[in-house]
């Protein structure tokens, strides 16, 4: 596990951008953290690192946003509005976990996966999974603890 602290939204964006430049097809990034921890900011950076120029926003109401036009497609899933494992399973998102044709990022991933460093749940691990926990340290500081994708 690696832990970094960012001291501004721009630094969180830059970390995501670095991840986007390094990302390979099939990567699934599971993000855990409270509201306001910087999950969507990290995804914006990831999109930038992939060369995606579209405006990235949280898919809280849509559940899934797809972004194309970069080096790889980005599938951005937000599970905030799903409360139970049955709701997550019924959403039919498995295709974005097992062999996605791009990169998949899942916000509120603890509502879906088993054995994450973030607590709980029910789906098996995708083959290339990177987990990241974002914590609010202060108004301007975020602590991001992440692992590296497992192939």
State how far the Cα of 55 lies from the Cα of 41, in Å rounded to an integer: 12
Look up the domain containing 95 and give its range: 2-146
Q: Is residue 151 part of a domain?
A: no
CATH number at residue 33: 3.40.50.300
Q: Is residue 77 part of a domain?
A: yes
Q: Is residue 62 part of a domain?
A: yes
Q: Per-residue b/e over 104-140, b at no fewer than 16 CB within 10 Å?
A: bbbbbbbbbbeebebeebebebbebbbbbbbbeeeee
Mean pLDDT of all residues belonging to the chain: 86
pLDDT in tens, 88-113: 878 888 788 776 789 999 998 887 76
Find all residues with CB under 8 Å of 35, minimum gap 6, and list them: none
Instruction: Give the chain's domain count.
Output: 1
Q: What's the predicted TM-score (pTM) here? A: 0.87
């Amino acid at each position: 596990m690696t832990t970094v602290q960012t001291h501004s939204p721009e630094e969180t964006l830059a970390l995501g951008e670095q991840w986007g430049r390094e990302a390979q097809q099939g990567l699934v990034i599971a993000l855990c953290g409270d509201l306001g921890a910087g999950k969507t900011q990290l995804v914006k950076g990831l999109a930038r690192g992939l060369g995606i120029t579209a405006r990235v926003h949280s898919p809280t109401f849509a559940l899934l946003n797809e972004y194309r036009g970069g080096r790889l497609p980005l599938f951005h899933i937000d599970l905030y509005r799903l409360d139970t494992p049955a709701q997550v399973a019924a959403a039919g998102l498995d295709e974005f976990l097992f062999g996605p044709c791009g990169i998949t990022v899942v916000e509120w991933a603890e509502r879906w996966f088993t054995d994450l460093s973030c607590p709980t749940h029910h789906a098996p691990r995708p083959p290339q999974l990177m987990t990241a926990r974002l914590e609010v340290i202060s108004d301007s500081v975020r602590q991001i603890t992440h692992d590296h994708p497992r192939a």
